[in-house]
Structure 1
Amino acid sequence: MPPEKAETASVSIQDVVGIQQSTFLQRLTASQPFWITVALFVIVVFMSFYEPAYATERNFYNITRNFAFIGIMAMGMLAVIITGGIDLSVGSIMGFVTIVAGVVLEAHYPWWVALPAGLLAGAALGAINGYIIAYVGLPPFVVTLGMLAAARSFAQILSGNRMITDFGPDKQVVLEIGGGQILGIANPVWVLVILTLIFGFVFNYTSWGRRLFAIGGNEQAAQLTGVPVRRMKFQVYVLSACMAALSSILILGWQGSAINALGIGYELRVIASTVIGGADLMGGAGTAYGAFIGAALIEVIRNGLLMAGVDANWQGAFVGLFIVLAVYLERLRGRSRA
């Protein structure tokens, strides 16, 4: 090859490599979960210097365990939001599930009967949501708002409006499932990590995941291309309820009691986690890691405020501020892409 042609080829290869590197960097810095991760790191470092008790093994254990419950629910909520829907009933479903499991345990049934009974009860409520939304055609906001009230009422009726603490002969097993640890890390955290990996794979590398994004991007177009829109909408609401039920079972074991008030206000924290992590409430966008890191950020903020001596009543204000900022950041990123 003549020297002139070799030099030209060399320059062309360098140009291509430079473009690839620039594109990767741009994609990284344009990712909302990346900046949420940076914000999380900054807050943790700042609080560690501001309050030495913050950077203790016990406190980090509490933080990770607490955000795991919300993170597990956020995985199911993310699937709903990707399709352009919303599920306001997850907190009340938690209360119903914990009462169902508690009542069965109180009747001295084994844990392997009681806990699946709670999960099935949650899935049944999710199926009701999904059927009405997908096949009857009512708006998700209205349907899940109705279930929010109904499921809480069901829990109060079933429990007789009382706390259940008698878990029968298998109480220790139940406590170990939700309150135990492996290698110094709480069991719920391991569950969340595994679910994040599974959901991340499903959303990115399966046809089911790609169809979810297609529905959220343009439901009519997705239906015209053969995507079973109704069936998939039904499935995501069942999935959301199942994740809420799983989180409820773990909390049941951690707290050692079943109360119908469990989950009050959790739906807002779960939705906030997904939105802060980059999910678009209009549908068509979101990542499992984003939901994970969004849940972590909310708990880090909550814990940091408590450690700093800030009145607990201000927690909602700070979380609300982060939600607005996250949505605004998403709007700015959308404009830059356009």
Structure 2
Amino acid sequence: MADSTQHPATVQDFARIDEVTTLKERSLAQKIFASQPFWVTIALILICLVMNWVEPTFLTSGNLYNITRNFAFIGIMALGMTAVILTGGIDLSVGSVMGLVGVVCGLLLQAESHWLVAVLAGLATGALAGAVNGVLIAYLRLPPFVVTLGMLSVARSLAVVLSQNKMIYEFGPYADQFNWIGGGQVLGISNPVWMLVLLTAVFGLVFNFSAWGRYLYAIGGNENAARLTGVPVDRIKLQAYVVAGLTAGIAAVMIVGWQGSAINALGTGYELRVIASTVIGGANLMGGEGGAYGAFVGAALIEVIRNALLMAGVDSNWQGTFVGVFIVLAVLLERIRGKKSD
């Protein structure tokens, strides 16, 4: 009797296991196809293939080198911006912070400081600007839009004052070492791209597998609920803005090294491209949704489109129009995906 009662149960158990396995496989496929970064990647590949068919020089090593290097700076900043957007915030000051960091690095090099001192001072400047934003937003409860808009103006003004509205290009005895940071290459790939790949991997791990990353998503999903569950909301918000300022500093150091000069106008308009990269890559401006790979592929798509327009002979003044259209389409796609999931 015992065997006869156990046998049917065992068969049913195997049936249940098969059902669960099928559900998991189906949910995984649905998750992939519902992922905005996945479709952005598909769009990126299709655009590259079409452009290579129209203009065979598009996928040459030289043009790919330029494309990857150019979007690396935006991608690095987009990673920090993703951390801020995950909390439901925004940082409009990253472009101006970039300009301020570039001027600080240039002035220190001009004063014949060691290149490492210039780099550390630049990164500290970016982090400090982010900390000011974070304190005002997290602890004084001021709106992120207003605070970072104010920092946009302050940082740009400081850059103009410190540089005396002049280009800084005499980098002193450590110019070659500093310039290699952004202008050098390893294995035929520019240093900024290596930095972007490294940071994407680091941010991906942090967002998905660390308590800090889970806190970011929790705050963006429901800040009040996050507070009730013991999440240190104010401290995490502050850290997110510091990270955004720090990534702007990293990008600034590398782009000044690549250009071999620093100007106070560096980074003008970059905040739009950075935010566009995160949104196109699947970040939700309401918070709680986004990822490192999305920021990476979003930045890549914008630069590929920009490069394709130039090679197709389209007036460069139209670039802003295309970026704006893609932002709206990305938000529309997010809205459609949200309705389907509901």
For the superposition of Structure 1 and Structure 2, which TM-score range results when normalised by the shorter chain?
A: over 0.9
Following the alignment from structure 2 to structure 1, what is the Cα–Cα distance between the partners of residues 120 and 171? 15
Mapping of residues 86-235 of structure 1, within 5 Å: 86-235=90-239
More divergent stretch after superposition (224-233 vs 81-90): 224-233
| AA at the equivalent of 2:236 | M
- Give the AA of the match of 1:259: I
1:13 CA drift (Å):
3.9
Relative to structure 1, the CA distance from residue 225 to residue 11 in structure 2 (aligned partners, 3 Å threshold; closer, same or farther) is closer
Distance 1:92 1:13 in 2: 56
Partner of 1:43: 47
Cα distance change on mapping 1:214 and 1:13 into 2, 3 Å: closer
Separation (CA, whole Å) in 2 of partners of 1:124 and 1:14: 55
- Count of equivalent residues: 338
Q: 2:314 aligns with which of 304, 310, 316?
A: 310
User: 1:279 & 1:331 partners in 2: Cα distance?
Assistant: 12
Distance 1:23 1:233 in 2: 32
Unaligned runs of 5+ in 1: none
Structure 1 position 24, deviation (Å) = 1.1
**Cα distance in 1, alignment partners of residues 95 and 230 from structure 2:** 34
Which amino acid in structure 1 is aligned with residue 221 of structure 2?
G
TM superposition score normalised by structure 2: 0.96
TM-score, length of structure 1 as denominator length? 0.97
Residue 282 (structure 2) aligned to one of 257, 278, 281: 278
CA offsets per residue over residues 146-195 of structure 1, 9 Å max, x none?
Answer: 11011000000000000000000010011111100011110000101110
> CA offsets per residue over residues 82-141 of structure 1, 9 Å max, x none?
000000000000000000010010011110111111111111111111111111111000
Residues 50-103 of structure 1: CA deviation (Å, up to 9, x unaligned): 101111000001100010000000010000000000000000000000000100
Overall identity of the aligned pairs, in %: 62
- Evaluate the alpha carbon distance shift between residue 53 and residue 136 of structure 1 in structure 2; reply closer, same or farther with a 3 A threshold: same
Partner SS state of residue 267, structure 2: coil
- Matched residue, 2:81: 77
CA deviations over 1:217-239 (Å, ceiling 9, x no partner): 11111111111111111111111
Equivalent position of 1:249 in the other structure: 253
Per the TM alignment, residue 18 of structure 1 is displaced from its structure 2 partner at its CA by: 2.4
What is the distance in 1 between the residues matched to 2:10 and 2:226? 48
Q: Which runs of 5+ in 2 are unaligned?
A: none
**Per-residue deviation, 1:11:** 4.4
SS in 2 for 1:55: coil
Q: 310, 330, 333: which is aligned to 1:329?
A: 333
CA RMSD of the aligned region, Å? 1.3
